[in-house]
């Protein structure tokens, strides 16, 4: 069997608290492994913009001020993962967010003979993240983005993602990376952690 055949498929998920630079790192990971970074927010916006059948459903829900239900989010993700560019790997950002979504993703991938291979968790001290976001809000003149509001978003993130993180930890998929530092420093930590797990960047894969 050739090295290409034995190469682990980079099917990743990235999680991290608001302000940890998750979106920036997601873009870099995607470039390193030659895979699409798939964000639920981007999918929603693309479908709404293109006025697809799913997009029209999402727009109606969002216009009414309601949350997009798991069933519709799952449908959008399923459609996106079946596109050609995701055949050899992907990086999910913002999905799954509930245990029901975890179960759907498991079943969807299993039906394709696939599975999630690693979950990158950006870990950062809560107080340092809050301070970083507070300074950013001040710099951008966002006076309504108070420390209380920022801490509330951190609390919501922790509450929502804790069960997911523990599930992936139990499956030995969790790759914890220190999310504090420069973009390059954090990126190098992620690369080292994934390389240690046996994943090869596209530039060095043979």
Report angle CA 101, 105, 109 to the nearest 5 degrees: 175
Which run of H or E residues covers position 136?
Answer: helix 126-139
CA dist., res. 1 & res. 157, Å (int):
43
Name the burial class of residue 27, with classes exposed (0-12), middle (13-18) and buried (19+) by CB atoms within 10 angstroms of its CB: middle
What is the pLDDT, as a whole number, of residue 8? 73
Query: Hey, how many other C-beta atoms are within 10 angstroms of the C-beta on 21?
Result: 20
What is the pLDDT, as a whole number, of residue 149? 87
What is the pLDDT, as a whole number, of residue 160? 85
CA dist., res. 133 & res. 128, Å (int):
9
pLDDT, mean of each 10-residue run, the chain (206 residues): 54 93 94 94 88 88 83 91 94 92 96 95 91 87 82 88 94 96 95 95 61
Whole-model pTM: value is 0.86
The class level of CATH for 3-191 reads alpha beta
Are the beta carbons of 108 and 172 closer than 8 angstroms? no
> What is the DSSP annotation of 26-52?
HHHHHHHHT--EEEHHHHHHHHHHTT-
Are the beta carbons of 26 and 91 closer than 8 angstroms? yes
CA dist., res. 189 & res. 159, Å (int):
26
Residue ranges of the domains in the chain?
A: 3-191
Enzyme catalytic residues: 22, 97, 136, 142, 153
């Amino acid at each position: 069997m050739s090295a290409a055949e034995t190469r682990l498929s980079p099917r990743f998920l990235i999680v991290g608290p608001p302000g940890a630079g998750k979106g920036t790192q997601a873009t870099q990971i995607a470039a390193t492994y030659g895979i699409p970074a798939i964000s639920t927010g981007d999918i929603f916006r693309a479908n709404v913009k293109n006025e697809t059948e799913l997009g029209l459903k999402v727009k109606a829900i969002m216009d009414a001020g309601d949350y997009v239900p798991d069933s519709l989010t799952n449908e959008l993700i399923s459609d996106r993962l079946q596109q050609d560019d995701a055949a050899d790997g992907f990086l999910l950002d913002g999905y799954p967010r509930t245990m029901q979504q975890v179960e759907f993703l498991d079943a969807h991938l299993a039906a394709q003979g696939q599975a999630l291979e690693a979950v990158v968790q950006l870990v950062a001290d809560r107080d340092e993240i809050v301070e970083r976001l507070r300074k950013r809000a001040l710099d951008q003149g966002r006076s309504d983005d108070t420390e209380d509001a920022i801490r509330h978003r951190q609390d919501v993130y922790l509450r929502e993602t804790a069960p997911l993180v523990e599930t992936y930890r139990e499956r030995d998929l969790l790759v914890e990376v220190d999310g504090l530092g420069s973009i390059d420093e954090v990126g190098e930590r992620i690369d080292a952690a994934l390389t240690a797990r046996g994943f090869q960047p596209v530039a060095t894969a043979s």
